[in-house]
Structure 1
Amino acid sequence: MEAILESLLGAPKEKSGGKSDDEIMKDLKDGSQLMVVNCYPPCPEPDLTLGIPPHSDYGFLTLLLQDEVKGLQIQHKENWVTVEPIANSFVVNVGDHLEIFSNGRYKSVLHRVLVNSAKARTSVASLHSLPFKCMIRPCPKLIDEANPRRYKDTDFATFLEYISSCEPVMKNFLESRRLF
Structure 2
Amino acid sequence: MAAEAKYQASEEKYQASEAEQRVLQEKVGASDERIRALTAELDEEKGAHALARSELRVAEARLAKAEQALASREQEVGDARLRHSELEQELRGLERRAAYHEAREIEARENAQNAVKLFRRAETEAETPEAEAETPGAEAAVAVPEVTEVAPEATPIAAEAIEEVPAAGPTTPGTAEAEVVELEPSM
TM-score past 0.5 threshold: no
In terms of fraction of residues, the more strand-rich structure is 1
Structure ID, larger Rg? 2
| TM-score normalised according to structure 1 size | 0.21
In terms of fraction of residues, the more helix-rich structure is 2
